Structures are given as structure tokens and as C-alpha cells.
Amino acid sequence: MPNVHVNLADRSYDILVEDGLLDRAGELIAGLGLKGKAAVITDSNVGALYADRLVDRLSEAGIETSVHTVRAGEASKSMLQTADLCGEMNRADHDRSSFVVALGGGVVGDLAGFVAAIFYRGIPFVQIPTTIVSQVDSSAGGKTGVNASEGKNLIGAFHQPRLVIVDPLTLASLPGREYREGYAEVIKHAAIRDAAMIDDLATLDPADQHPSADLLARNLAIKARVVEEDEQETSGVRALLNFGHTIGHGIEASLPYGEMLHGEAISLGIKAALFLSEKINQFSPAESARILGLLENFQLPLTLPDSIPTEKIMDKLSRDKKFTGGVIKFVLLTGPGAAEVSSKVTLDDIREAVEYLRA
Ligand SMILES: O=C(O)C(=O)C[C@@H](O)[C@H](O)[C@H](O)COP(=O)(O)O
């Protein structure tokens, strides 16, 4: 099976990718040698489909569980929900030997990982991602956290999972819109690190909800190598993974959470970042067109709704973590499959790029 190893000294772990792995989750998790009870955190959609199966597999492997279900959607990625889950876990008699299993997409993974990071000052966790966004991106790398009304992911902790179990078969049950949104992150990886993947993605049928394990693993390997180089985003290398996310997060946070899906906002953010890459780095318009063609093929939005005022987006994105002392670290492309973190992008440039999205 494709196995991506994330090498982070005593925080190293495997990412296993193979059809049918959900049914092997019990033995795989038991193999970690964790002794306590598992708190399975899931959402109302994914839990209804897979929680019983997972609990059965864990129980067959001798692992006792409690299941904690949050409402599906981005609004659950909150401090309130975090506190509720910690209370539920305490009442379910979890102790310091317990661990968390995140069963769901990016919202569940980020939220459950954050709960694991802070419950009793930190317990282990395992990721079982069930969406494209989480299977190629958010389940790996240890960024956990929740949103604030001021912006996306403003509260969180770095907490690496002990294991990531990716079963591509779980993608078949996703609504088409939620399947396709994930490709914004795949296209991001191709744009910043793997130009050859741009050609490969052009051959995919967006209606076929069964991507190859190799494609998922190729994305996870990009993520793993970046995280190994710069685990806590201190040198700037990890910030490259934020390509399309500065303006994307600003747009996402300007609407009630969940109204525009994360990948849809990132699609707009990528388009704006391509505009700025052309303007500031003379990035090739032909290369931009290839990337935009992919976003279009996956039916991702490329036009900003008039209902979102530019100044609201500017306000949200100016509160982004990537601003330090009023200077934004903005990711621009420098060539096919290559990117840099630039300090040359001004707020006026960003405003112009946001306006460009209305065309
Ligand atoms: O893992 C990272 O690092 C990323 O930037 C991946 C992003 O796709 C992801 O959305 C991430 O959560 C955004 O990070 P943030 O630091 O801007 O919250």
C-alpha cells in the first residue's frame, strides 16, 4: 500500500493509503500500542455512514470507545464546540491514557486534533480523513484548530497525529460539490511543487469519485516533505502551502461559515494569487491559464459574488496570521511548480486582485 512516512523525530508517523483501510482501522490503531479508551469524534453526516463500522473494528481489536458527534459543517469548528467535546469526554470517563480518533473531513480533523491537543493538556490522536481536502492535505502536518468570528483558524495548536488512515473508498459517498472542492488543494500542490501533476490532473473525470491511491499519496508526500522541512512554519517553507489561502480565507470568513466551502474559497484565492504572480513575478499567463482550466474543470468558482464587499474581505484577511507588523507574507508562483513567500505584495495589490475576481 502507498505509505507516506512523515519524519519528525519523536513525532514521526505513517500515512497509509489504500482502498478498504477503514475496515482495518482496529488492527492498525491497536498496532500503535496505545493503552486507553478511544474517543471517536465525527460529524452528523460521516458518523451516520461509518461510525458504527469503525466502533466495531475498534472493539474487535480490544479498544473501548465513546462516540462524539458534532453537526456537519464549518460552523462546528469553534471554541464552543471544543469546550463541549472536552466536557463530553470527561463525562465519558476518558483519562490521560485515552486517545482521539478523528473520523471525517477537514472540520472534524482540525477540531478533533485541537481537542486532542488540549484535553488534559494533550493526548494522542489518529486521523481517518473522509474527504478530498482532508485526504490530500489537512489530515497531515499537525495543524489543528478552530475559527474565530474574526477569521479562519485563528486559534489552534501544532499537534501531530500518531497515524493517518486514508481509505479512498469513503469518498464515493460524498456529495459531488464536496468531492470537487477538495481539488482546489490538489491543484495548489501541483502549482507550488509538481508541474507534471498539472498535466495528470487534466486527464481526470471530476465525476469519478474514486481517485487512485497513488494520486492521494503523491499529494500527501508533497505535504509531508514540506512539513518535515518546516514543521511549525518558522522558516517560511511551510507557508508555501498557503498558496491561494490569504485571499481565500478572507473570502471564506466574510460569509457565514459553511456558506462557501473551503475549497471553493481557495479556488478564488488561487485565481487572485495567479493575477498577483503575473503582476509581480512575471509568472507566465499561459501557465496561469492551465491552472485556471483545472479549477474550471472541477467546477470551482472563479468569480466573486457581488454580495461580498471588498472591504469586508480586506478586513478579514488583514487579521490573518500571515500578517506580521502590518506586512503580509504572500505566496506567489515563480515558475511552473515553483513558489516563493513574497513581502512585495501591498494591501493595494491585494485589493486590486480581489476586484479582479469580480470580472
Ligand atoms: O498545512 C499547512 O501548513 C497549510 O497551509 C495547508 C492549508 O491548506 C490549510 O488550509 C491550513 O489549515 C491553513 O493554514 P493556516 O495556518 O493559514 O491556518
In tens, the pLDDT along 25-59 reads: 999 999 999 999 999 999 999 999 999 999 999 99
> Are residues 40 and 185 located together in one domain of the fold?
no
Is 121 considered catalytic here? yes
- Model pLDDT, residue 320: 85
pLDDT of residue 328: 86
Indicate the residue type of 152. K
Q: Mean of the pLDDT values across residues 294-322?
A: 94
Compute the radius of gyration of the chain from its Cα atoms: 20
pLDDT of residue 1: 64
Q: Report the pLDDT averaged over residues 304-319.
A: 94
CA dist list (Å): 47 to 28, 53, 69, 184: 20, 10, 7, 25
Show the domain range for 77: 3-173
| Residue 125's CATH number | 3.40.50.1970
- CATH number for 311: 1.20.1090.10
Q: Are 163 and 5 in contact (CB under 8 A)?
A: no
Index of the ligand 1 atom closest to the CA of residue 249: 17
Provide the residue type at 324 as one letter: T
pTM for this structure? 0.96
Q: Which long-range contacts (CB under 8 A, 24 or more apart) does 273-278 make?
A: 273/243, 273/244, 273/246, 273/247, 273/330, 273/331, 273/332, 273/333, 273/353, 274/333, 275/352, 275/353, 275/356, 276/330, 276/332, 276/345, 276/349, 276/350, 276/353, 277/332, 277/333, 277/334
Q: Do 55 and 102 belong together in one domain?
A: yes
Indicate whether 327 and 192 sit together in one domain. Answer: yes
| Cell numbers at 136, concatenated | 490530500
In the listed set 109, 143, 173, which residue is the last one of a domain according to the structure? 173
| Predicted complex: ipTM over 0.95 | yes
pLDDT tens digits along 271-297: 999 999 999 999 999 999 999 999 999
Pick the catalytic residue: 238, 271, 316, 329? 238
Structure confidence by residue, pLDDT tens digits, 157-169: 999 999 999 999 9
Boundary of a domain, candidates 113, 139, 173: 173
- Of the residues 157, 173, 189, the one at which a domain ends: 173
- The answer on 351 and 235 residing in a single domain is yes
74 Cβ inside 6 Å of ligand 1 = no
Residue 85 and residue 156 in one domain: yes
Of 94, 223, 271, 316, the active-site residue reads 223
238 lines ligand 1 (CB under 6 A): yes
Please count the structural domains in the chain. 2
At residue 359, the pLDDT reads 80
**How much distance in Å is there from the Cα of 333 to the middle of ligand 1?**
17
189 in ligand 1 pocket by Cβ < 6 Å?
no
